[in-house]
Every structure is written in C-alpha cells, then in structure tokens.
Chain A
Amino acid sequence: MNIFSLLNDALLKMTWLSDLVRLLVEKVFRLSTKDRLGGSIHFFIYDTIKIFILLSVLIFLISYIQSYFPPERTKKILGRFKGIKGSILGALLGTITPFCSCSSIPIFIGFTSAGLPLGVTFAFLISSPLVDLASLLVLMSFFGAKIAIAYVVVGLIIAVIGGTIIDKAKMEKYIEEFVWGIPNADVELEEMTRKDRISFSKSQVTAIVGRVWMYVLIGVGIGAAIHNWIPQSVVEKTVGSNNPFSVIIATAVGIPMYADIFGTIPIAEALFGKGVGVGTVLSFMMAVTALSLPSIIMLRKVVKPKLLVIFVSIVSIGIIIMGYLFNAFSYIFI
C-alpha cells in the first residue's frame, strides 16, 4: 500500500473509526453490524463522528485560507476581467470565497454596483455554494479522489457556462432597479495578523458547526434509514440505474432542499451503497447545495422573475446533463 492511500484511509476515510465503532456495536451493544439494527447504529455513530471531525478540521483550514479572500477583495480582483475570462475567474474565486446564502444579496449588490458583468457575478454565485475546498476533501473521503475531482471540475464548468449564457443574454434589465442606485464603495482594510486569522477560523468553526449540526444529524439519520431499512427494490425503482428518469428525480428532489454538503453526504453515501448510479448521486448533491428555496427567495429580492427562472433553469439543466454523463461514463470513476 502506498503512502497516499494509507494517509487517505487514516485521515479522510477514517477506517480506524469504523473498526472502533464496530467493536462498540458488537461488544457493548451485542449486535451484529450485519443485522439491520446493528448496521444502522454503526452507520449512524460512525458517520456522525466522522462528519463532525471532518467538518471542524476542514472549516478551520479553509477559513484560514479564506481569510485572505474576503468578498471585498474578490470584487476588486474580478473588476479587472470581462467575458469568459471573467466567468472562469468568478467560478474559481467562488470556490475559495466564504459564502452562505445569507450573504448572497449583499454580494450580488456589491458586485453589480461595482460594475462587474452579470456573467461574472452569476458564475461566482453558482460556484460559491456548489464547489469549495471542503466539498473536494469530503467527497475524497467518501467516494475517492477521482469522483471528487470530477465533481469539482464539472461544478466549475456549470458555473462558467451558466455565467456565460447569462452574460450573452444581456439580462441587465432584469435586475431590480434599486440595485443600480446603490453607490459602489471600496473598503481599505488593515491586513489581518496570523492571530486574527486563527481567531477568525476558530469562530467560523463554532459558527458553522452551530448552524449545520442539525442538518448533519438529519442527513445521517436519512442515510442510515436508506442504508438498512428501505428495501433495495424501492431505491432501484425510483432512482436506480434502470429508471431513465432517476437523475431528473434526484435533481428535482434536491433543489428545494436546504442543506450543505456535510448534511447531504451521508444520504449520498447510502444511495451509492444501494447501487444508485454515481451521476444520480452527484446530481442530488449538487442540486441540494447549489439551489435551495431560501436562496431562491433571497435572490428574488434583487433579480426579476425572468432572470431568476433562467438562472434556476440553467443550473438545473446543467446538473441533469452532468448526472447522465456521469452515469454513462461511470466505469471510469469506479
């Protein structure tokens, strides 16, 4: 075994934790992990601990990197680019700029009033919740490096294409008028010290864990249910590879849901374990993270319905196409 897969097993997959929890379930609860109940308990305890460890460590590391790229700096960098170059850069910066749907409106207004092309702003808005360093590492942990990298690349492509289409379609008139009335302001900030960055990262960990722990537990609960209680045949019928609409169903179910990647991953893992196609699983994850009812409602405040519909359609169609492609070429990834 080479050093990379050794590290991957120990740090990301945490095989030791799985063994430890198995011991606990078998020796303390006296249940076999092959049984339904024992299996669910194992899944639930192991996944919960694993996700919370990953969540804390990753948020800390990523917040540290992100402290160098507040949206205000991103805005300045993006201001120098236009067209497809701008969309690509917008998508890339979206991956390292901290984002939650609660900040999408100020970011949208800030970018727009700074004169950034709509395409750049939307490329950023699509990629920011969809792809980040945390999702890359989490996916690596659960599904391996190939799928993780493919997810990130496809997410970026969807963001760039989405941004470019909106750019070419000249949608500026579908922005709510008041947005244009807000003057652009730049802010000069003192450089943060290392101590500032560490304290920022720590507070991010507490804030984000505090915000998402419920979703994680719900996600793990649903995952455990799929894993051991929902019959294989039901899963196969609805989202299995024989149902030609599996990807569309997975996307449609995922869009209104509001959760981040940490809450979705146990569900995705359980579906994957039941033999659901990798494309279907990724479509579900992308739909959940990229679009949600709360974020759509928020965006409606700054964007008129037509642009909103176009935005949601482009992202949904992109996710669906991606899902079918992954399913068709899944032999490369597994």
Chain B
Amino acid sequence: MIIKVLGSGCTNCKKLMENTKKAVEELGINAEIVKVEDLKDILAYGVMKTPALVVDEKVKAMGRVLTVEEIKKYL
C-alpha cells in the first residue's frame, strides 16, 4: 500500500504526516508513506487545500488534519 501525504510544508501537513505514521504503526500494516510537497504534483490530484491524504492514488481527505483513528478507517 502506498500512502501519500500532500502538503507544501505547513504545520498542518506535518501533523497529518505524524498521525499517518502513527496509524500505520498501530495497525502494523506494511505501507510506504510518501510526502508530496511539489505544488504541481499536489494539484495533479485536484487538491487545492492541503493537507490531503492519498491512499493508493485515491484522495481520501483534504483540507483537514485527520486524527489517527480517522486515518485507520481509510487504510
């Protein structure tokens, strides 16, 4: 599973990254977490409000910091 966190380095994006790592850890699944910081790549997903969470190339949420529990739902 490939999980992408989209965001150009704002504090919210860092928080989402942390929560995502925690969710993956707690679930004990094998997933690669990628950070996408380039604006062009972010926009290519149709996302205009960061941070966003992309799981296997599908946008799951954007414009908000998901909690660890919420992220688990999407994995």
Residue in chain B with minimal CB distance to A113? B43
Which label, helix, strand, loop or mixed, suits the secondary structure of the A interface? helix
| Stretch in contact with the other chain, from A51-59, A182-190, A240-248, A272-280 | A182-190
- Whole-angstrom distance between the alpha carbons of A241 and B43 in the complex? 48
Are B44 and A106 closer than 8 Å at their CB atoms?
A: no
Q: Which of A174-230 contact B (CB under 8 A)?
A: 182-190, 196, 199-200, 203-204, 207
Q: Which of B14-55 contact A (CB under 8 A)?
A: 39-40, 42-50
Are B49 and A106 closer than 8 Å at their CB atoms?
A: yes
Assess whether A98 is interfacial by the CB under 8 Å rule.
Answer: yes
Are B62 and A199 closer than 8 Å at their CB atoms?
A: no
Are B44 and A189 closer than 8 Å at their CB atoms?
A: no
Are B46 and A187 closer than 8 Å at their CB atoms?
A: yes
Assess whether A102 is interfacial by the CB under 8 Å rule.
Answer: yes
**With A70-B62, A113-B43, A182-B40 given, is the CB distance from A107 to B70 under 8 Å?**
no
- Whole-angstrom distance between the alpha carbons of A74 and B43 in the complex? 15
Are B43 and A109 closer than 8 Å at their CB atoms?
A: yes
Q: Quote the shortest CB–CB distance from B55 to chain A (angstroms).
A: 12
Are B42 and A106 closer than 8 Å at their CB atoms?
A: yes
Are B43 and A187 closer than 8 Å at their CB atoms?
A: no
**Chain A hits for B70, CB < 8 A:** 196, 199
The residue in A75, A105, A187, A207 that gathers the most chain B C-beta atoms within 10 A of its C-beta is A187
Are A207 and B59 closer than 8 Å at their CB atoms?
A: no
Q: Quote the shortest CB–CB distance from B12 to chain A (angstroms).
A: 7
- Whole-angstrom distance between the alpha carbons of A190 and B10 in the complex? 24
Q: Quote the shortest CB–CB distance from B16 to chain A (angstroms).
A: 10
Are A72 and B65 closer than 8 Å at their CB atoms?
A: no
Interface size class of B (residues with CB under 8 A): 20 to 34
Are A72 and B64 closer than 8 Å at their CB atoms?
A: no
**With A113-B43, A182-B43, A207-B12 given, is the CB distance from A107 to B48 under 8 Å?**
yes
Assess whether A163 is interfacial by the CB under 8 Å rule.
Answer: no
The residue in B43, B46, B48, B61 that gathers the most chain A C-beta atoms within 10 A of its C-beta is B48
Residue in chain A with minimal CB distance to B67? A199
Are B49 and A187 closer than 8 Å at their CB atoms?
A: no
- Whole-angstrom distance between the alpha carbons of A71 and B63 in the complex? 9
Assess whether A103 is interfacial by the CB under 8 Å rule.
Answer: yes
Assess whether A94 is interfacial by the CB under 8 Å rule.
Answer: no
Are B59 and A189 closer than 8 Å at their CB atoms?
A: yes
For A183, give its contact among B10, B44, B48 (CB under 8 Å). B44
Are B63 and A185 closer than 8 Å at their CB atoms?
A: no
**Chain B hits for A263, CB < 8 A:** none
**Chain A hits for B60, CB < 8 A:** 190
> Which residues on A are within 8 Å of B, measured CB to CB?
70-72, 75, 98, 102-103, 105-107, 109-110, 113, 182-190, 196, 199-200, 203-204, 207
Q: List 14 A-B contacts (CB under 8 A).
A: A103-B49, A103-B50, A105-B39, A106-B48, A110-B43, A110-B46, A113-B43, A182-B43, A185-B44, A186-B46, A187-B45, A187-B62, A199-B67, A199-B70
Which 8 A-B pairs give the minimum distances between C-beta atoms? A187-B46, A185-B46, A110-B48, A71-B48, A106-B48, A200-B64, A187-B59, A186-B46
> Which residues on B are within 8 Å of A, measured CB to CB?
10, 12, 39-40, 42-50, 59-65, 67, 70
Q: A107-B49, A187-B46, A199-B67 are in contact. List 6 more A-B contacts (CB 8 A).
A: A75-B48, A103-B48, A185-B43, A187-B62, A189-B59, A207-B12
